[in-house]
Amino acid sequence: MPIKSKKLTQRGPYSYILAAQPDRILYLAGLLAVDETGNIVGKGDMKAQIRQIVLNIEGLLKEAGATLEDVVRINIYTTNLEEFLRLGTWRSENFPQLWNYNQEAATSTAIGISALATPEYLLEIEATAAVNNTTG
Query: Could you please report the per-residue DSSP string of 29-53?
Result: EEE-SB-TTS-B-STT-HHHHHHHH
CATH architecture under which domain 23-131 falls: 2-Layer Sandwich (3.30)
Closest by alpha carbon to 52, among 66, 31, 67?
31
Q: Record the pTM.
A: 0.83
Cα–Cα separations (whole angstroms), residue 118 to 7, 37, 63, 98, 127? 41, 17, 28, 25, 21
Q: How confident is the model at residue 135 (pLDDT cuts 50, 70, 90)?
A: very low
Phi/psi for 58 (5° steps) reads: -60, -40
11-23 tens-digit pLDDT: 555 555 555 666 8
